[in-house]
Structure 1
Amino acid sequence: MHDVIRDMALWLACDNGKKKNNILVQEEAKKFAKWKEAKRIYLNGNDFDKDQTQNPFCPNLLTLLFRKASWNRFPSEFSHSMQVLDLSECDLNTLPGEIGSLVNLHYLNLSYTRIWKLPYEVGNLINLRSLLLDFTDELRYISGDVVSRLLSLQIFSKLANPYYLRDGNFYLQGSLMEKLDCLPYLSDVCLTLCSNECVQKLLNSSKLLQCIRQLSLFPCARSIEITSSAIRKMEHLESLEISSSDLEKMEVYVDRTITRHDYFDNLHHLHVWLCPLKDVSWLVYAPSLQILSLCLCDMDAVIRGDSGSVEIEESSAIFSSLTDLILEKMPELKYIHRGVLTFPCLTKVYIFGCPKLRRLPLDSRSAVNSLKEIRGEKDWWEGLHWDDEAAKHMFDLKFAEGYPLVCVSFFPVMIFNSWISIYISF
C-alpha cells in the first residue's frame, strides 16, 4: 500500500485524526505508553525488544496483531474486551492460564508458535469463533476437554508439517475428532490426519465431512475407500494433500446416476507426493481442480481409461479448470490421459524426472489462449512423440529448459491462511 493511502486510511479510522492513538501500527505500536488509548494494534516484532519487561496497559484494546515477536512468554494481563488476538509466528512456547479471562475473544491465531500445550483455561473462551493452530509442531496433544467447551467455535484449523509426525507422537487423537463433531456451530475445518483411526472417524462423520475445507492425509493404511455418500458431503473441500509410503490404492466409489458435478465440485488443489498410488483417475469428478502436483509417486498413469471404479467421461470435461500441472520424479509415468484434452485454462506445465512419459495429451486445439510456459529437461522434450506437427511447433514456442526461477513448491505443504481478513479491516 502506498504510504499516502495508508496514512489517509489510518487518519480516517482514527476519527479524522482526533483519536490518533486508536490504531497503532509498527513504530508507533512499540511505544507502550500509547497502548492505553489504542483499540487496534499491529506490530511485526522482528526488531521488537525481546528483553522488554514492561507489561502494556491497554484497557480499550479490541484487536492485537502481534506477529513474529521475539517474546517467549505472553503478558498475562490484557483487556477483557479484546476480540481478535493474532500471535502467529511469535517465539512463544507457553500461554498463561489468564488467557481464559478474555471471554469476548472471537479469533485466536497461534499458528507457527512453539507452544506445546493449550491451557485448560482456553476452554473458558465461550465466544471464540476461530481457533488456528497451524504448524505448531511442538503441540502434540490437544485435550478434547478444552475443545468441547468452545461451543461458539465455527472455524478450527490444525495443519501440520509431516516431518514432525514421524516419531509416532500423533497430536490429533480420535477423541478430539469426536469432540469437534459435537460442536454445534462448527462450519470450517482444516486438518492433518496421520492415523488410520482419525481418517476413518472423518469418513464416518457427516458433520466433519461437510465442514472440511483443507485436508492433509498421511495414513498408514494400504488403501482408503471413499463412498459416494462421503464424497457428496465433502462439498466444501478445496485442498487435498496425500502422502504415504504405504497407500497403494484410493478407491472412490460414485453413483453413476448422479451428475459428476455433485462430486469434489470445489476441490481446487491436489498434491500427492511420496506415495505408491497407481493413479488418480477419480479426478474426472473434480471439475474445478486448478492445481495438480504429483511428486515421487509410482503411478504409471494420472487418469487411467480402464479404471474399474471410474467411468472416464468425455475429454472436454476433464481438467477443464486446471491452470497448473506439476509432475516431478515419476519414473514409471507413461501417460497423463490416453486421449487429447482441451485444457482451456492451463497456464503452466512443469514436468521433470518422467523419462517414460513420451506423449502429452495435447494437440493444436489444446490450451490455445491460456498456456504461458512448459518447463522440463531438454532431452525429454525433444524425445516426445507428436501426432500433430502443428501442435509440436506451437508448443515448442512455449518450452523452456530447467526449473522456473519462481516456482511452486515441489514438496508442497498447504498453507492458505487468510482467515484474518474475515474479521479485521484496518
Structure 2
Amino acid sequence: MAETAILAALKVLGAALAEEVTSLASSKISKLRSIYPNLKLNMNNISTEFHVMQGFLNGIETEHPSNESQVAWIKEVQKLANDIEDIVAEFAYLIGNQKFGGISFYLKKRFKEPKLLIAINRIASEVHEAEQRLQYLARVKERWLPTIEIKNEKNSNFSNKYSHNVAVYAHLVDEDHLVGITEDREKLTKLLNFGEQQLSVVSVWGMGGVGKTTLVTNVFKRERKNFDRHAWVSISQSYTPETILRNIISEICRDEKGVTIDATNMDVLRLNTTLQNLLGEHKYLIVLDDMWDPKAFLDIRDTLVDNHRGSKIVITSRMAEVANLAPENKRLELKPFSETYSWSLFCRKAFNHEKNHACPPPLEEWARKIASKCGGLPLAIVSIGVMLSLFEKTESKWRQLFDQLSWQLDNNPSLDPLKNILMLSFKYLPKYLKNCFLYCCLFPEDFLLPRKKLLRLWIAEGFIEQKGRSTLEEVAEGYLMELVNRCMLQVATKNYFGRVKRCKMHDTLRELAISLCRKENFGLLHEDNKSENADGSTRRLSIINLRETVNHDVCLPKLRTFLSVDNDVPSSPLLSMIFDKSRYLTVLDLEGLPIEMVPNSIGDLFNLHYLGLRKTKVKSLPKSIKKLQNLQTLDLAYSQIQTLPDGIAELKKLRHLFAEVEVNPTYRSLRNRTGISLPKSMFYLKDLQTIQALESNSMVVRELGNLTQLRSFRIRNVKENHSVELCKSLSKMSFVSLLSINASDEEEILQLEGLNLPQLQKLALHGKLKETMLESPLFRISGNSIQSLWLSWSQLQNDPLSSLSHCRNLMLLTLKGAYEGQRLIFQEGWFPKLKRLDLDIMPNLIQVEMEQGTMASLEEIWLWELKKLVEVPKGIQHLVSLKWMICTDMPEFGGLSRGYHKLSHFTCVVR
C-alpha cells in the first residue's frame, strides 16, 4: 500500500519540478536564486529514490505480507511520502500565488517578499530534512530487512498458496453440503455436452469467493467420464507457459493408466510436442482454474489441438477480460446467492448440530443480520458460519459477535482463508486502481455510488493520470470499468444506454477495505459514533449517518478529504476547525448539511479541488472563493445560491460547475428549474466541461462560444431573440454530448434550426417549437447520434413521430406537453432501439397506436396525465419486449383500478 502514497508524492514532485513552476521560482524574486538550486536538487533526489523504491515495495508487499519488520519500515516510508506530498503542495501554492495576479499583482504585493522568503526557506529546510530521512530509511532497510528474492517459478507466492487451498477445499466439498448451485450446474453441464465437434472454450467468472472453483469441481467430477482425457490445473499469478504445460501433462498421466511421462526437464518445444501427442485424437476436458491474465491461455492455445472430437477448455477467473476468451454464449457469470440460499447455507454451517440445521428462535434476529453481512458470498457464508458454530448459542453472545464482525474478520485466524482469498483481488490490482477502490469504502454500507460524482472525486484526489488526448473523466471511467470487470465493484444500476449509473461495494470486501484504510492511514469512517476518532495524522475523514453534533477538539492539520454523507448536523466544532486548520484539504463535500454560510477562511484551502455544497442552505459564496486556484469541481446544485462573486473567474482550473436552483420539484411546469448568473469573465475558463445550469441573456449567448471544451450544458430562460446567437455559439462546441435548453416562458419560440452538433447524445428542449424545427439538421443529421430526447411544452400541432423516427438510435423518448393533437401512431420499423417511452400532459390525446414491428426493444411505457386517453394503446401486444406500463393520474384509463394488473406479457401499474 505504501507505493500509492509514493505515487501521490511523485505527482506533486513532478508538478513542482515542471518548467513553468521552476522558472517562476528562480526568476520572480532574486533572493530565491540562492535557495532554489539546492531545493530543486533535493526534490529531484527524492523523486529518483521514490521511483526505485516503488518496485521494491511492490515485491515485498506481495511476497512477504506478514513480515513485521517490513511492515514497520513500510509505514515509515508511507508517513514520509505523505509529509513530502504536503510540503511540496505548499511550495507549489506559494510560488503559484506569485503567478496568480501577474506582474502587476506581484509589484503591488512586493512588501510581502520577506514573508514569502521565510516560507520558502522553511520549505527548503523541510525538503532537505525529508531527503535525509529517506536516506536514513534506506540504511535501515539494508541493516534490518531480509533480502528479498526475485520472483521465479520456484518461489511459492501468496497467490499460489491460497489458490491451491481453494482448489483443495473445492475438491473435498461434500455433495450434500452444496446449496444454491443447481441452476448454474445445469447451465455448465449443458455447455460441456453441447453437440459441436470443434474445440470450444467455456468461461466461469465472478468475484473471489463466489463459488467458481466449487461449481466447476462439482461438474468436472460428474462429467469427466464423458471425456477420454482430462486435467485440472490451477493458474497462479506468476505463471509461465512451461509450468502450465507440465501441469497439464502431469494431470493427464496421473489419471491415465500405462502413461508415464517425466516432463520435469523438458523445454517448451518438447512440452508442446508431448502434450499434442497425448491429446491426439482423444476427446479431452481441461480446466484452467483461477486465471488472472488472458495471456496465460493465449500462450498455450496453439498447443491445444482441435481434433474435432468435441473437446472443451473451461476457464475460471475473477476478470471479465479473461472470461471474454470464451464466446458470449459460453460465458457463465456467477452472482452472489439470493437471501434464501444464503440463509440455507449459513444454517447448515452455523447450526450443523441442530436438528435439520434449524436456527434457535432466540438467535434468529442476529443470525440473519450476520448472514446478510456475508452479501450472498458462499465463501464468506461458509467461513463465518463455521466460526460461529464454535460459539455458545445465546442471544447476548451473538449480538456481541455481530458488533465484532469486522474485528473478527481482521483478527480471527479461522477467517484467514476468506480474508486472503478476497485480498488476492486487491493485492493484484494495478497500483493506479488501489486508491480508487479504497476510496469507495468511505461511503456507507450498501451506498449506491453515483458514477459521475465518483469519477470527479477520484480526479480531485489526484488518482487519475492523463492518457493521450483522453480527458481525465474518460480515463477515470476506464478505471471504474476495470474495477467492475475485476469484480471489485458491483453494478447496481445501468442507464438506458448500457453505461454504469450506480455501483456498490460488496459488504465483505468493504470490511476488508475499511481495515486497510485504517492500517495504511488512507482514511477513517466516523459512523454513529462507533468508529475510531480521528487524530493529527488523519488524511481522509468520512462522517456518515450522524444526527447529532460531532464534538471533536482534535486538530486535523494533515486532512486531505472531508466527506459528509446522509447527515443532518447543522453545525459542528469539527466543521469550523476544518475550515480554519485543515490547510491541505483537497475534497470538501458537505452535500445535504443544513449549513447556511461558508466562512471566508475557505480561501485559505489552497489545495482544494472539490467543493460540494449541493442541497445545503448556503445563500452566497465569500469573495475569498477566488483564491481557490486549484478548484476543479464546484457543486452548488439545489442550494440557495443564485449569483456568483466576480472573482469566480479566477478559478482557471474549474472543470465542472453545478448550480441549478429548484423552483418546482414536480416538473409540472416549464420553469421548474432555474440557472445561475455568471460574470462575463467566466466565459474564458478554457477547462470548463460542465455548466448546469446557466441563466440566459444577450451577453451570455454571445460569449458562450468561447467555452469550446463544454461537454454538458444546460441553459435556462432563453428568449426567441437569443436563438441566432445561441446557435452560433453552440455550434463551436464540437464536444458537447448533453444539451438542455429552456425557454423563458410558454410563448417564447426556440428557433434552433441552424444548430448541428455531431457528438450530441442527450437533448432536452423545453419550450415552443415550430413544426419546421423537426426537419432541421439537429434532428436529420445530429439525430444519428442522439440517444435520449426530451421535448416538453413544444405545442406541436402535427404528429411529430414521423420526423423523430429519423433518430434511429434513440433509447429514451419523452414527449411532455409536446403535442396538441388527438392521435399518435408508431409505425413499423420506427425507433428500433427505444427502451423507454414517456407520454405526459397531452390533454387532447385520445388514441395511441402501435403497429407490428415498431419499437422492437421497448421495455417501459410511462403514461402521465393523459386525461382523454381511456383505452390501452392499440397494438400494444406487438411490443414483445415490453415489461412495464406505468400510468399516473389517469383515473379512467382502461377501467383499471389502482394497483398492479397483468396484461398479456407485461404488467400495468395504475397509480
TM-score under structure 2 normalisation?
0.36
The structure-2 alpha-carbon separation of the partners of 1:194 and 1:254, relative to structure 1 and needing over 3 Å to count, comes to: closer
Tell me what 1:219 maps to: 718
2: CA distance, partners of 1:171 / 1:342: 35
Shift of 1:327: 3.0
* Deviation of 1:121 (Å): 1.4
Correspondences of 1:150-229 after superposition (within 5 Å): 150-163=651-664, 172-173=676-677, 176-183=678-685, 185-197=686-698, 200-208=699-707, 210-211=709-710, 213-221=712-720, 224-225=723-724, 226-227=726-727
Q: Which residue of 2 aligns with 1:414?
A: none
In 2 relative to 1, CA 82–193 (structure 1 residues): closer, same or farther, beyond 3 Å?
closer
Q: 1:336 to 1:49 in 2, by over 3 A?
A: same
Question: Are 2:839 and 1:380 equivalent residues in the alignment?
Answer: no
- Change over 3 Å in CA distance of 1:393–1:108 after alignment to 2: closer
Q: Who is 2:837 aligned against?
A: 349
Which residue matches 2:779? 283
Deviations 1:335-385 (A, max 9, x none): 6689755212112223244354467685322222x112334469737486x
Aligned to 1:143: 645
Deviation of 1:158 after TM superposition, in Å, equals 1.9
Would the aligned equivalents of 1:301 and 1:337 in 2 still touch at CA under 8 Å?
A: no
Q: Secondary structure at the match of 1:65?
A: strand
CA contact (8 A) 1:30 1:43 kept: no
User: 1-side partners of 2:683 and 2:602: how far apart?
Assistant: 25
- Do the aligned residues in 2 keep the contact of 1:224 with 1:250 (CA within 8 Å)? yes
The corresponding residue for 2:570 is: 71
Q: Which amino acid aligns with 1:394?
A: H
Partners of 2:702 and 2:711 lie apart in 1 by 11
Whole-Å separation in 2 of the counterparts to 1:396 and 1:71: 52
Is the contact between residue 860 and residue 885 of structure 2 (CA under 8 Å) also seen in structure 1? yes
Residues 302 and 71 (structure 1 numbering): CA distance in 2 closer, same or farther, change over 3 Å?
farther
* Offset at residue 235 of structure 1 (A): 2.8
Give the 3 Å change call, closer, same or farther, for CA 252–287 of structure 1 in structure 2: same
Structure 2: segments with no counterpart, 5+ residues: 1-504, 890-897, 900-911
Question: 1:48 & 1:79 partners in 2: Cα distance?
Answer: 23
Structure with more contact order per residue of length (Cα contacts < 8 Å, sep ≥ 6): 1
Q: Secondary structure at the match of 2:581?
A: coil
Counterpart among 241, 247, 250 of residue 750 in structure 2: 250
Matched, 1:85 2:588: yes
Once residues 253 and 330 of structure 1 are traced to their aligned partners in structure 2, the CA distance between those partners, rounded to angstroms, is 17
What residue in structure 2 maps to residue 230 of structure 1?
730
Partner residue in 1 for 2:625: 122
**Mean CA deviation greater in 204-213 or 55-64:** 204-213
Secondary structure of the 1:380 match is coil
2:608 is aligned with 1:109 = no
- SS of aligned partner of 2:661: coil
The letter of the residue matching 1:59 is P
- For residues 121 and 144 of structure 1, what CA distance do their matches in structure 2 show? 11
Give the C-alpha shift of residue 32 in structure 1.
7.9
Contact 1:194-1:217 at 8 Å conserved across structures: yes
User: Of 1, 8, 11, which aligns to 2:515?
Assistant: 11
Amino acid at match of 1:196: N
CA distance in 2, matches of 1:373, 1:156: 33
Aligned residues of 1:320 and 1:343 also touching (Cα < 8 A): yes
Please state how far the C-alpha of 1:401 moved relative to its aligned partner: 6.4
1:212-271 Cα distance to aligned partner (Å, 9 max, x none): 51304223547723436633525324141525324432222448xxxxxx6252231426
| Conserved? CA contact 1:224–1:251, under 8 Å | yes
Query: Equivalent residue of 1:180, what SS?
Result: helix
After superposition, give the CA deviation of every residue in 1:305-342 in whole Å (9 maximum; x if it has no partner). Answer: 7xxxxxx69x5xx2222222333455613566897552
Distance 1:214-1:162 versus aligned 2 partners, 3 A rule: farther
Counterpart CA distance in 1 for 2:749 and 2:758 is 18
Residue 878 (structure 2) aligns with: 394
Q: CA offset at residue 88 of structure 1?
A: 1.4
Q: CA deviation at 1:26?
A: 3.7
Partners of 1:132 and 1:397 in 2: CA distance = 39
Q: Does 1:270 align with 2:764?
A: yes
The residue aligned with 1:298 is 795
Structure 2 counterpart SS, 1:36: coil
Percent of pairs identical after alignment? 20
* Kept in 1: contact 2:770–2:796 (CA 8 A): yes
Asked whether the equivalents of residues 855 and 879 of structure 2 are also in contact (C-alpha less than 8 Å), the reply is: no
**Residue from 851, 858, 865 that aligns with 1:371:** 858
The 8 Å contact of residues 340 and 361 in structure 1, kept in 2 or not, is answered as no
In our comparison, the structure showing a higher alpha carbon Rg is 2
The letter for the 2-side match of 1:380 is: L
Q: Could you tell me which residue of structure 2 aligns to residue 43 of structure 1?
A: 543
Please give the secondary structure, in 2, of the residue aligned with 1:251. coil
Contact 2:660–2:676 under 8 Å retained in 1: no
Q: 1:55 to 1:208 in 2, by over 3 A?
A: farther
With 62-71 and 338-347 compared, the bigger mean Cα shift is at: 338-347
How far did 1:42 drift? Answer: 1.6
- The whole-number CA distance in structure 2 between the counterparts of 1:65 and 1:271 is 35
Q: Evaluate the alpha carbon distance shift between residue 288 and residue 333 of structure 1 in structure 2; reply closer, same or farther with a 3 A threshold.
A: farther
Contact conserved, 2:541 with 2:563, CA < 8 A, in 1?
yes
Residue aligned with 1:90, SS: coil
SS in 1 for 2:851: coil
Question: Following the alignment from structure 1 to structure 2, what is the Cα–Cα distance between the partners of residues 53 and 188?
Answer: 39
More helix by share: 2
- Whether the 8 Å CA contact 2:742–2:765 is kept in 1: the answer is yes
Q: Are residues 1:332 and 2:789 paired?
A: no
C-alpha separation in 2, matches of 1:196 and 1:83: 34
Unmatched segments (≥5 aa) in structure 1: 256-261, 306-311, 407-426
In structure 2, C-alpha distance between the alignment counterparts of 1:177 and 1:192, rounded to whole Å: 14
Per the alignment, do residues 264 and 42 of structure 1 end up closer, same or farther by CA in structure 2, a change over 3 Å counting?
farther
- Say whether 1:240 aligns with 2:740: yes
- Give the Cα–Cα distance (whole angstroms) in 2 for the partners of residues 264 and 403 of structure 1: 36
Once residues 870 and 831 of structure 2 are traced to their aligned partners in structure 1, the CA distance between those partners, rounded to angstroms, is 19
Deviates more, 1:60-69 or 1:275-284: 275-284
Q: In the alignment, what sits opposite 1:25?
A: 525
- Please list the CA deviations of residues 51-84 of structure 1 after superposition, one character each: whole Å capped at 9, or x if unmatched: x454441122111112344234741323212211
